[in-house]
Amino acid sequence: MGADVVVEKPFMKRENLLGSTVLVSINRIISLSFGYTRDMIWACVFGSSLAFDAFVIAFHLPSFFSYIISEAGIRQVFIPLLSEKQIQSTDADVKTFISDISLILLIVLVVVVIISIGMAPVIIKMFAPGLCKVEKSFILAVSLFRIMAVGILFTSLSELFGAILNTFGSYGIPSSTPIIFNVVAILSTSYFTDYFKIPIYALAFGILASGIFQGLIQIPFLKRKNLLVKPSPRINVVLIRKVFKMVIPTLAGVSIMQLGVLIDFIFSSYLPKGSITWLYYSTRLMEIPVGIFSIAIAAVALPNLGRYYAKKDMDSYNQVLDGSIRNTLFFGMPASAGLFVLSGPIIATLFKHGIFSSNDVIMATSSTKAFAIGICGFMLIKACAVASYARQDAKLPAKIAAIGLLCNIVFNFIFFKQLMHAGLALATSLAGIVNAGILFSCLITKKYYQPEAGFWLYTIKLMIATLTMLLVLLHMTPTLSAWLNAGTIWRILHLSMLILLGAMTYILSMDLLGCRIKKFSLGLKME
């Protein structure tokens, strides 16, 4: 056999880019469907109890650590580097690179898990100090956190496997792993709570098991693509220096954005019982558009932006970025308006079962409306940040995220006492809008992105269509009291009709304004 040769890999066509985005979005929709089924069961069984407040804290902290490792180390650093290797190196070099990175990640993960378990009481006190007032809740939160902290190892390895598959053009399997997560969580709640003296422990062990399954399901597909390699037996010091040089500023940016959520937990832990639970369900509803659209768009765009930048094909780079931002605005604006109007009906329909009361619906509705204001901003942050990460510039998003975090803290103090948990949600939304606005402006100023012809007119048309949809929904939506007193079938039918009405109004408005869906679907851009 001859020596490996460098073969230039073909770029993904724009039609395939959209097709992959659609595939990822479909899997996200399926995952979110199971996720909200899981949340409905949790709400029905546990309501807004102190035990569930403790679980939410214990669940979010390992998720925070997993997220910053996955986002800072894997998505924003590993994917651009692997994309560059894919273009410039032999297949053997690519495998060596994956092997070296795997060892580095494994060492980091083991250290993080050990520290998390050992420092669990300190971590809980740091991020939920108000929980310490109730000793049983504090002890429970520490115990649950230690169980789920082990899952950091498995969920992060799952992210690594998914990043490798994404870079080599396989999006279906990685984007389907959250489905496994939610299915296992549903089964653990439905069938195993009776086996525990404290039923909430079934949720913690279910979360741990789901992380294991997420990684296992991807291994056969890595093997099929001949990308399954063992961690390197040696430490690549040069690579470690390069990775950490990129990771540190990226870690700062990602951590700052996530610290906003943890700061909300610090404040909410001092609020009345149930506040943490209400914020949790509000956050989950906010994740519908963010999870379906912006994550899908970013997951597909980042590897392609990285490859175009490595090839110095800046025209294609700008076209993909422009299309991603337009896609984000196309979905983000109506999602923000729609959730603002329909937050009460959605919460009543999904969660008002079992011991989740009418008061819980009212409280969760107020914070959901506040989160809805910032949805488009949250989505735009992710769409714009990939432009910097693809260029291996993590400092710009980090600096702007620091400004956003400072704004979040200031807004928390302004709104916390009067609006309570809803004030925390509003502070997060306003900080997200500030972050997105500054980041978008900086991309243009630094010439990382130049809006293509018709971008601003297109944005104005989006705003008009969104306003039209908002007015129609405000006029047609019954009062919250009607939803609280209605039966389940009535809620489902009326909510479905309102969502369909809103979507049809938006699409028809866009069509009348000359932005036809066919043009959008085929070209990633609209006139």
Mean pLDDT per 10-residue interval, the chain, length 527 residues: 40 52 74 84 83 87 81 70 72 78 84 92 86 82 93 87 80 81 88 86 91 88 81 71 70 65 79 84 82 69 69 75 83 92 91 83 92 90 78 76 88 88 91 90 83 85 93 91 88 93 92 65 39
Asked if residue 137 lies in contact with residue 53, where contact means CB atoms within 8 angstroms, the answer is: yes
Q: Which helix (H) or strand (E) holds 61?
A: helix 50-68
Q: How far apart are CA 475 and CA 370, in angstroms?
A: 20
Q: Would you state the structure tokens that stand for residue 275, as one six-digit string?
A: 């506040």
Q: Would you state the structure tokens that stand for residue 206, as one six-digit string?
A: 């279910």
Only one residue has tokens 């928390």, namely 412
Q: Would you state the structure tokens that stand for residue 508, as one six-digit string?
A: 């028809």
This prediction's pTM: 0.73
Sequence ranges of the domains in the chain: 12-42+49-270, 273-391+451-527
Only one residue has tokens 């809803």, namely 422
Residue 9 φ/ψ region, left for φ over 0, alpha for ψ in the -120 to 50 degree band, beta for the rest? beta
pLDDT (0 to 100) of residue 49: 79
pLDDT (0 to 100) of residue 33: 84
Q: How far apart are CA 120 and CA 1, in angstroms?
A: 54
Only one residue has tokens 């931002």, namely 325
Q: How far apart are CA 436 and CA 319, in angstroms?
A: 20
DSSP helix/strand/coil, 306: helix
Within 13 Å, how many C-alpha atoms sit on residue 302's CB side?
A: 30
Q: How far apart are CA 156 and CA 262, in angstroms?
A: 20
pLDDT (0 to 100) of residue 350: 85
pLDDT (0 to 100) of residue 257: 58
Distance of CA 428 to the CA centre of its chain: 15
pLDDT (0 to 100) of residue 466: 94
Amino acid found at 262 = L
CA distances from 312 to 76, 305, 317, 318 (A): 19, 10, 8, 11
pLDDT (0 to 100) of residue 520: 44
Q: How far apart are CA 321 and CA 297, in angstroms?
A: 10
The runs of H, that is alpha helices, within 78-199 are: 79-88, 91-118, 120-127, 135-149, 151-167, 172-191
Q: What is the DSSP string of 193-249?
A: GGGSSSTHHHHHHHHHHHHHHHHHTTHHHHHHTT---PPPSS--HHHHHHHHHHHHH
pLDDT (0 to 100) of residue 249: 67
Q: How far apart are CA 265 and CA 493, in angstroms?
A: 35
CB crowding 139-157: b at 16 or more within 10 Å, else e: ebbbbbbbbbbbbbbbbbb
320: Cβ–Cβ under 8 A, 6 or more apart, which residues? 14, 17, 301, 304, 305, 308, 524
Candidates 358, 364, 450, 445; CA nearest to 400 is 445
pLDDT (0 to 100) of residue 357: 84
pLDDT (0 to 100) of residue 8: 42
